[in-house]
Structure 1
């Protein structure tokens, strides 16, 4: 019996489709492939007539149920690049969207602004492959369905689907299904939306509901003066997100490499973020019970080595990035690089248990949804020719007081010292008197090419807005700064700086400038 492999070849060299968040999709996922095959089964050459309507045959349904119960074991993903990478806004046009509305007594077809340059150029065919045999009858059914699929994504993204025996298919495997699926997939992989058992019935039920057997009369089907498109959104309950690991992975260089977004119902004011993140931390640790997790609590046994970073909790308001599109924004639960897999699994279990986050008089936030994210690709990449800089969303807090005996010490040095704590696994650990240790760490960060400038204190006596807990000897001095990481932190990474970087403080927000503008406005100069 054959092993199945399916290739998707795009004759125009581009793929155009969108994720549920509205972001352009880089490749068609397995759920999109499955839906296209189901549509071909119901309306293509193999469909059968049932009560005056075309429906999938039994052979097609059996083959599609085989697919939904078995996620692909391997992928062949070609190189791709966005066709709009050279444009900030992309190419747009006004198009009819099928909505009739009445405005000031006039009935018209509404036109909306739609982007036309969200496609990606693809260098070769995309492959899905399964390591389990299927019957010749099911293979033949899938082969016939592939021939009836005309597009993947939008209608102007034509495709040629072909079925092969995977044992002889001319594919190059780039990703394999991860043996350990997690809500915090490590960076560098490919999270693919994939159907699971019951997806065929779910879509078939949705089709029956939207196409009732009793058709409306011509009179009842007339357009009204204001009428919206009737196409319902397809259900999503029988979908899952599966992590595929590259066959030649690159080691990520970000302080935090995996994230789970907890979408909440109500926005959190900027000056309450630290307190709500502390409340979320208390909620997570309360679920530990008799267990312990230094990765979450930060309480390491005396004398044991401590990593530079542990689990960090932050909040991102709606509109910062396309992945956080609900009005209430989202908490981010971040896992550091090289986190112990056992402890990471504990953190995942605890995070999945959170339903509400209470913060006394500040109220409660309900968790509405959860989305795994790549913490190294959280922010969009800078446009070509621009350089990425970073500033705290609210403020950063120093880990130490200003050295009294060092008159040369500046607030920029404080920011570089915080970078030294953040990246202390990349620089040699200095020894000696505290003043010399601080200077050596700052110099080591400068040697990496990292730059800090424009640092200024933020006068505010309400220190609880910036840090949850701090040593009695520390004078909390919130400040703002500008960082250029010189490639030590990926341009798309989500990260934080300073004493409160693990609990809501110091979240760094990117902005991009041309080199000459950065030199003029910030005083930055390339190394």
Structure 2
């Protein structure tokens, strides 16, 4: 085994725990994992059954190794607070009596709930160098005996796995000032097990109290003795610097549509995506990032692309989904920072229905998934050539001057490709449409545009000058190796709102060669 990890899988998708000061934890610290394993060693399948010496020899060796060897990395999934505005308070009777105005009253007490964290995947604590095989097997048994982490409302499945690629790595040079994206974890040091044993002995051992001392009083409150903190230290884990793939939208969020009042025709793709965009903007409020709204500071350099919203029918060829559900796709643009991404995910998690004048679509934010934008589509079938079709159509960003040797639709397609790829290919950032066409041709990109006849051309754009003529057209495109064959791309004036999504079409190789 080249490395090792402890994986925490929360079957309910939620972690709820609180730090020593009572504040909600976003994710459990490794010190909490260690405490849970200490209890497993004393009370679980590895325990000796002797209260005086509860730990087996191998369990002691495992715990000593964990004290001396904190994890070197973390793998943290996307996450969002269950209730971003603060925990809700529930009121219940917990055996609290108070004397008020000469009488003893049974009081209802409040407790913060719904202050957990919804996790979009499993948590991992990673070690580069695992212990001996015998200790790993014992650690597996200890992990299997852990029923929950934090509150009992967040059950967990702890398992030992091979090492995974961390999203955060330990920074031994970290200081007191927090940095963007970091996770600070309490970790045990040598002597932590003994410290926990002493705290337990102080509460559980000794002479039981007399009935008089143990009786209920009006000053009694629900109480848990605080754990000692002397044998804990803080480790800082910083995000791994990762190179985004050279595609316009490196990440994709998929939002399943579970119920609809009517099928959405191609002419309404834009309208339902506009409705989703308005719902997002409403939830984000004034803090909405410019990648969502398109409103950048006056002196800011505007990137080529923003967050794109598209509707993907269930029957789409090459779709990575097989459950028969339509989906909204949320395309995350190249260079979007983590805080803007987190705000977008938080907003999506609060949307349950997308409504237009004609359609009502119920969505399932709890089933939100993250995908690699460079490898979104299914691989091409053997002995085929992948060609792309713009769905439902393509609308150029502006009218272009005709060129005697280049078909007008191909020239407009090259212009749209330049608008999408100009941040990745500086040669496409030129303002001359003919030069853009020549660059795309030299890169091996083949274009084939054709007319798209519709009685509602205005349905394929969101906003446009009323005096402008809207001309949607069909486009077939072969990237010729210029982009990954599974990358997700959208082109045209409405590429951010439901139009111009390129769908894969795998044609037999011999037929393509004849063409």
TM-score by length of 1: 0.53
Give the secondary-structure state (helix, strand or coil) at the position aligned to 1:310. coil
1:143 Cα deviation (Å)? 6.3
Change (3 A) 1:449 1:405: closer
* Residue 71 to residue 337, structure 1, CA distance change in 2 (3 Å): farther
Aligned length: 327
- Alpha-carbon distance between aligned partners in 2 of 1:449 and 1:251, rounded to the nearest angstrom: 23
Give how far 1:324 is off: 3.0
Secondary structure of the structure 1 residue equivalent to 2:511: helix
Q: Which has the larger radius of gyration?
A: 2
The match for 2:335 among 335, 338, 354 is 338
Q: Counterpart of 1:361 in 2: which secondary structure?
A: coil
Give per-residue Cα distances to partners, 1:87-132, cap 9 Å, x unaligned: xxxxxxxxxxxxxxxxxxxxxxxxxxxxxxxxxxxxxxxx994479
Distance 1:391 1:142, change over 3 A: same
Residue among 255, 263, 269 paired with 2:256 = 263
Maintained 8 Å contact 2:421/2:428:
no
Distance 2:142 2:338 in 1: 41
Paired position in structure 2 for 1:427: 426
Secondary structure of the residue aligned to 2:166 is: strand
Post-superposition offset of 1:428? 3.0
Unmatched 5+ stretches in structure 1: 8-45, 49-56, 76-126, 147-161, 165-170, 181-244, 522-527
Label 1:498 to 1:163 Cα distance change in 2 as closer, same or farther (>3 A). Answer: closer
Q: Which 10-residue stretch deviates more, 369-378 or 135-144?
A: 135-144
Residues 163 and 297 from structure 1, CA distance in 2 versus in 1: closer, same or farther, beyond 3 angstroms?
Answer: closer
CA contact (8 A) 1:430 1:440 kept: no
Q: Deviations over 1:467-507 (max 9, x none)?
A: 22223353111111111112222111122111111000011
1-side partners of 2:413 and 2:3: how far apart? 55
1:496 matched to 2:490? The reply is yes
**Native 8 Å contact 2:71 2:126 kept in 1:** no
Distance 2:268 2:160 in 1: 55
Aligned pairs for 1:415-494 within 5 A? 415-425=413-423, 426-428=425-427, 437-453=432-448, 455-494=449-488
Q: Pick one of 396, 399, 412 that aligns with 1:398.
A: 396
The change in CA–CA distance for 1:430 and 1:338 in structure 2 (over 3 A counts) is closer
Residue 295 of structure 2: which of 292, 299, 324 is its match? 299
Q: Does structure 2 conserve the Cα–Cα contact (< 8 Å) formed by 1:498 and 1:506?
A: yes
User: Which runs of 4 or more aligned residues in structure 1 lie more than 6 Å from their structure 2 counterparts after TM superposition?
Assistant: 131-138, 143-146, 245-248
Note the aligned Cα RMSD (angstroms).
4.4
- CA 1:438–1:518 in 2, change beyond 3 Å: closer, same or farther? same
Shift of 1:287: 1.3
Counterpart CA distance in 2 for 1:405 and 1:465 is 28
Question: How many Å apart are 1:326 and its aligned residue?
Answer: 3.8
In 1, Cα distance between equivalents of 2:489 and 2:428: 22
What is the deviation of 1:73? 4.1
Whole-angstrom CA distance in 2 between matches of 1:363 and 1:250: 39
Q: Compared with structure 1, are the counterparts of its residues 421 and 143 closer, same or farther at alpha carbon in structure 2 (3 Å cutoff)?
A: closer
Matches of 2:285 and 2:160, distance apart in 1: 51
- Secondary structure of the 1:346 match is helix
CA distance in 1, matches of 2:136, 2:402: 76
1:124-163 equivalences under 5 Å are 129-130=126-127, 139-142=136-139
Task: Please give the alpha-carbon distance, in whole angstroms, between the structure 2 residues aligned to 1:411 and 1:509.
Answer: 19
After superposition, the Cα gap between the structure-2 partners of 1:140 and 1:404, relative to the gap in structure 1 and judged at 3 Å, is closer
**Match of residue 284 from structure 2:** 288
Q: Separation in 2 of the partners of 1:381 and 1:411?
A: 29
